[in-house]
Amino acid sequence: MIKQIGIGLYLIINCGFTQAQEKWISSAQIDFVFPNNATYSYDNSENHFFKEDFFYNGFLLRSFAIQADYNYLLFKKFSIGVLGGFQTQTKPSYVFLKFGGVLKYYFVNKNEIYVYMHAANNFTINNDKFRNGANARFGFAFPFLKKKEFAVV
């Protein structure tokens, strides 16, 4: 009897763990940002507050980022997760490490089109120019290359 209970518990735990694994999603992104304007409000290491507005001409890369996130599917089409990464900006010239959270809504399923909102705290590598700050982003992602193991969005 104890052997049957042990086998039953083993199967229940393993089945539950297998189903739980399907709720976890990890992804990595490479971001190329081409804004036409940007506003930055920050204080430097001497606590001087700055507000700068930039208007860009032409189609030039102003920011580049590599980041990854780890999400849990709360519902069939909605996930919540954490993200971390690295970002550079050209004007003003900064290099950041970022850590924050992300919400995703999948229109069809987790391998298709989705909208996302993420909020992250940026920690600069050069404390003389900038100490830390926040970054919020709302976006739309869709796959343009799909394979069995992964999708490029």
Question: 84 pLDDT exceeds 80?
Answer: yes
The answer to whether residue 99 is domain-embedded is: yes
Amino acid, res. 105: Y
Structural domain contains residue 46: yes
Question: Which residues lie closer than 8 Å to 64 by C-beta, 6 or more apart?
Answer: 30, 31, 32, 33, 87, 88
Q: DSSP secondary-structure letter at 149?
A: S
What is the C-alpha separation between 104 and 130, in angstroms, rounded?
Answer: 30
* CA gap 61, 51 in Å, rounded: 22
Asked whether the whole model's pTM tops 0.95, one would answer no
**Residue 124 within any structural domain of the chain:** yes
Number of domains composing the chain = 1
Dihedrals phi, psi of 150, to nearest 5 degrees:
-155, 170
> Which structural domain, as residue segments, surrounds residue 136?
23-152
On the question of pLDDT at 82 being above 90, the answer is yes
pLDDT, one tens digit per residue, over 64-79 is 889 899 999 998 889 9
88 contacts 63 by C-beta, under 8 angstroms: yes
> Is residue 85 a part of any domain in this protein?
yes
Q: What is the mean pLDDT of the chain?
A: 74
How many whole angstroms separate alpha carbon 153 and alpha carbon 31?
11
